[in-house]
Amino acid sequence: MPEIIREEETLAMKLRVHDDIGHSILATRRVLLQNTDQKEIRATAALWEQSISVLYRSSQMRAQSEPLEAAKERAEKLGVRVLLAGDEPRTQRMRALIALAISECASNCVRHADGTELYVCFWQKPDCIAVSLTNNGAAPKGKITEGGGLSMLRQRIEESGGKMEIQSVPRFKLMLSLQEKEEAAYEGDDR
């Protein structure tokens, strides 16, 4: 059991480092290409400082109070607006998994598709919640090969009992099927 926990913590840290460094690179690229002001350059430098501190704190993970909102804020710093439609999941576990997917798709939207919007749709099925993520960027030129970020996301989704599918024709689409487990709803949810 301790070995499994250690592996999960290591994977979580790898995901965090991947997300933070990738986020910093993309934010820096946006700042440099748009000739932004000194204030935004300093904010981007602060992102780098955060990313570097994560590398030194491998045993600690910064907990986000609300994963979907945190993922939306991170995407906005990359220049990607996240639009949510449908009934959002209420459990913290599902919200955290979807937040990982949003972060990865927002990064890939900027890096590979030059997109500015990410569309996240939720719908309830009898035994799970389905989630689709698409963007307004350029369509893929061929089949999408999973790199480190998508592979780690797939591993997290499948470890939780869910399924992940990637479509590249006619546009990019990431589909998730997440099993609902009894768990307390997110406490900040006032619906």
| Secondary structure class of 166 (helix, strand, coil) | strand
Q: What is the mean pLDDT of the chain?
A: 81
Q: Report the C-alpha gap between 99 and 21 in whole angstroms.
A: 17
Cα-based distances in Å from 37 to 26, 51, 179 = 17, 22, 45
CA distances from 134 to 105, 118, 128 (A): 8, 6, 20
Q: What is the pLDDT of residues 132-179, one digit of tens each?
A: 999 999 999 888 888 888 998 999 999 999 999 999 988 999 999 998
Q: How far is CA 153 from CA 18, 79, 174, in A?
A: 11, 22, 11
Q: Which of 60-64, 111-115, 180-184 has the highest mean pLDDT?
A: 111-115
Residue 189: what pLDDT?
A: 44
pLDDT at 66: 82
Tell me, yes or no, if the pTM score tops 0.75: no
CB within 8 A of 2, min separation 6: which ones? none
Per-residue pLDDT tens for 87-123? 999 888 899 899 999 999 999 999 899 999 999 999 9
